[in-house]
Amino acid sequence: MGIRYRHEWKHILNKSDLLILRQRLRAVMESDPHAIDGKYHIRSLYFDNIDDKALREKIDGVNMREKFRIRLYNCDPSVIHLEKKSKRNGLGTKYSANLTAEEAQKIVDGNLEWMLSSGRPLVQELYCKMLYQGIYPKTIVDYTREPFIFRPGNVRVTLDYDIRTGLNCTDFLNPDAVTIPAGDAPILIEVKWDEFLPSIIRDTVSMPDRRVSAFSKYAQCRVYG
């Protein structure tokens, strides 16, 4: 089975847009079953190298690029994902592998030897790139997400807001780690789909005078460290 790339676009919203779209989406889409009261908190720990390769490629709009992150939801350490997001010709794909809390902490601490014999290709790839490309945990990104799904077309729409940065903090598993608002970070709507975007969803998310944006939560948070 080949690599499956997905279409993705983002719009920047204001608070009024958020209220309108929340009601529209609830009328035509399902709430993600993993959400609690329609939302969840996401914490990601992003990786980069000393030259900020991932950050610079994003800002420069490099056609083929990738970034690694570790992610957990609602500060629950029982489910942690290592993820690699790749972009090619404007399309995106994501690879994922599970981590235990102990493994995630070892990565944060620079204890890497176990990764090569982990039996998980993505963990092994991260090990090699930490060793030979010099990538390492860079900063925490926190935000709140309201996720919606529409099964035809495998469509996923998310409303993201309250974006916060851990500055140079990488204490990923500490629920009391200090984060601060990432400046004037906007509210975002992200829309992802496979082969086609059903017209009902296209019409639902359409907002006048809102253009597709290349906004990056990671780039916004790196302004501060």
Look up residue 87 and give its amino acid. Answer: K
For residue 2, is it within any domain? Answer: no
Residue 105 has pLDDT above 90, yes or no: yes
Query: What is the radius of gyration, based on Cα positions, of the chain?
Result: 18
Instruction: Report helix, strand or coil for 203.
Output: helix
The structure tokens listed for 70 are: 């570790």
Q: How does residue 225 score in pLDDT terms, banded at 50, 70 and 90?
A: low
Q: Structural domain tally of the chain?
A: 1
The structure tokens listed for 5 are: 């790339």
Report how far residue 168's alpha carbon sits from residue 140's, in angstroms, rounded to the nearest whole number: 8
Q: Identify whether the C-beta of residue 197 lies closer than 8 Å to the C-beta of residue 153.
A: yes
Distances (CA, A) of 145 to 16, 40, 83, 148: 17, 6, 18, 10
Residue 1 has pLDDT above 60, yes or no: no
User: How many percent of the chain have pLDDT more than 70?
Assistant: 97
Rounded to 5 degrees, what are φ and ψ at 113? -55, -35
105: alpha, beta or left? (left if phi > 0; alpha if psi -120 to 50)? alpha
pTM of the complete model: 0.93
pLDDT at 223: 79
For residue 88, is it within any domain? Answer: yes
User: CB-based contacts of 49: which residues, under 8 Å, 6+ apart?
Assistant: 133, 134, 135, 136
Q: Identify whether the C-beta of residue 119 lies closer than 8 Å to the C-beta of residue 97.
A: no
User: For 112-129, what is each residue's pLDDT tens digit?
Assistant: 999 999 999 999 999 999
Beta bridge partners of 192: 8, 156
For residue 106, is it within any domain? Answer: yes
For residue 185, is it within any domain? Answer: yes
User: CB-based contacts of 192: which residues, under 8 Å, 6+ apart?
Assistant: 6, 7, 8, 92, 155, 156, 157
The structure tokens listed for 101 are: 């809390």
Segment 19-24 shows an average pLDDT of 95
Residue 200 has pLDDT above 60, yes or no: yes
Residue 211 DSSP code: -
Which range marks the domain in which residue 66 is found? 7-222
pLDDT at 197: 93
Rounded to 5 degrees, what are φ and ψ at 14? -110, 180
For residue 33, is it within any domain? Answer: yes
Q: Looking up tokens 């495998």, which residue turns up?
A: 154
For residue 1, is it within any domain? Answer: no
User: For 50-98, what is each residue's pLDDT tens digit?
Assistant: 999 999 998 888 889 999 999 999 999 999 999 999 988 888 899 999 9
Residue 34 has pLDDT above 90, yes or no: no
Q: How does residue 184 score in pLDDT terms, banded at 50, 70 and 90?
A: confident
For residue 55, is it within any domain? Answer: yes
For residue 210, is it within any domain? Answer: yes
The CATH number covering residue 162 comes to 3.20.100.30
User: For 114-170, what is each residue's pLDDT tens digit?
Assistant: 999 999 999 999 999 999 999 999 999 999 999 999 998 899 999 999 999 998 889
